[in-house]
Structure 1
Amino acid sequence: MHRDIAAIICYGTSTCRTNLDQLVTEPTRHKDDCNNILDLVFTDNTNIVKKVSVTDGISDHDAVVVDLDLRPSRKRKKKKKKFLVDKADLEAIGDHIRQFSAEYFAKLVDVSASAKWDAIKNCILEAMEKFVPSRMTSSRFDVPWFSRALRRQCRKKQKLYNRARKTKSGEDWSIFCSARKEFTRAIRSAKARFVNEFLSSSIKDKPKAFWSYIKNLRQERTGVGDLKKDNKTVSDTKEKAEMLNHQFQSVFTKENDNTLPHVSFSLPHGIPNLIISTNGVEKLLMNINASKAMGPDGIPPWFLKLAAKILLHYYETCSRLRLIMEKCPMIGR
């Protein structure tokens, strides 16, 4: 008995110190009425383990089958539309929104706040598409220090390799080996220069770029992994969120809303009248963090900050109308 307790304590402390996880949970030895786990499988990376099962083995010993994913998987990045904010035509954006103002203040006087907001949103999106240049991002995984000069040097090295492989000449192989060594030194030097110069200053000046580089150094994926639906692997974040949302909803009971009791609620003190001023709206627009992601309306924060003085009156009138009608547009909730 004392030996068993000592073995259990030794097993627990050794696995904790080495950060190992034991995967076998089913008995692997059957004798008389005793079922014991004698075969153990340890790992320090449970993300590569797909399945662990116990099958029939020899005599009273079962065999443990472990399915591992040892092949490195890399997904191609999705191409995204990126607006070139520095090349935006502010004068054309201002003229476009001023032309819209005549229709806004003349024809959209008696409409709801939602209709006013939809008109403003469509005008902003149209101005972005027309007067802010854009390009599609690349789907390649390029490192930030891999410059055009290094890319030309890499293509030159590949051409020398193709020629040496075709001619099988010792001199060509020697030229290729020299080019490969030179390219390796150049790319190591470029990486060291990037880490020493750019990252050291970007910790305070550009923290987003710094943490983006740190995030790309990960060797495994975190968060919600790929899901399977109808024997198809789902990797898109939106589809995975919808699948999990559907799964969570399926385990709850759907009750009849008509049978719910009515609970009366009243505030002890009324809310004083809110004052919306032009300076207040302008201050909120100018203090927007331009690096944040866009909301459900599809308008990026950088555009609101860029055209704050032009959009000032539209946001002011729309906000006042929300308070008067005591109703907020669906997209702004």
Structure 2
Amino acid sequence: MSITDGMSDHQMIITTVNARPKVIKNKPRKIYQYKKGNMENVKEYLNSKFNNFKEKITEMNIEEYWTLFKTHLFQAMDLHIPSKNLTSRFNLPWVNQHIKKMIRKKDRLYKVAKKYQTKEHWDKFKQYRKAIKTELNLSHKEYIFVMLEVRPSTSEASTNTQDQYRIGKKYWKYIKSKKRETVGVSTLKVNGETIDSSKGKAEALNAQFQSIEMVQRRAARFIKSNYSREPGTVTTLLEELKLTPLETRRKIARITLFHKAIHEKVAIPIPSHILKPRRTSRLHQPNTKKDMYKSGQTKIFTNTAFFPRTIRDWNKLPDELLEIESSEEFKTKLTQLLCSG
């Protein structure tokens, strides 16, 4: 990602996006078999290593102290407790030997149809492929029903499905495995270098956000040719130049987007728990408690989320501004109001 000069006083952000889907495979996970471990040897090993452990507390900081403790502990576990690696299964559990045999036969039919290129061979291949799909669907449904744990019914005449089956842990594990999105920040590329580690991603994003905030502050120093390091210098320069702070710009953009959502000019639905009184343009949310907004017993938004944060700013605006329907006029008046103060 890089920033270059754009049109007028704007800057243009150039970035490279990798649109190729990335398959994230689970790494083998090492687990210790504590029941098979020799705990007496573990205790003897730790006693020998931690004999003068308390005396070293004045020689090291807390990080070095913890690292030493962790190193000795894992050494004892590796020496006296057996371990094994758990790997994930990449095959589908409902594809049994019968279906695998049918798939191999389908592949043979495809090779024959591709070789002779006759309608008879292609029809035979397509018909068999359709039969495999049907068999796969039936096997998949049977696999799902097996994961539903049977609950004994209290009444013999009960036919309610809820009385017959109970959704267990295996079922939810299967549902979780079907998700397609990944959690977290994907791989970043900074100055031609690919960053995979969590620490590297955090440092790269932090540097990027700090650079955006510093653009305006450096511009103020350049315009005034004032590079003094005294506290409050940049703040004074921004006030003299009357440059709109980035925080105010974000606030204007946020309230303008909320205005468009209210007037249905953008596809952002207003949640049902946000109430609008009949005789005023103010908005409010019921059941406010500390920093959480609740609807019944369900936590919905925090105080810094878009709707609660924007509604507080919205309700502070004058009535004549809230009655404007044109988004362009509303943004102009809002900018004049916030920048004048």
The TM-score by the shorter chain falls in which range? 0.3 to 0.5
The higher-RCO structure (CA 8 Å, 6+ apart) is 1
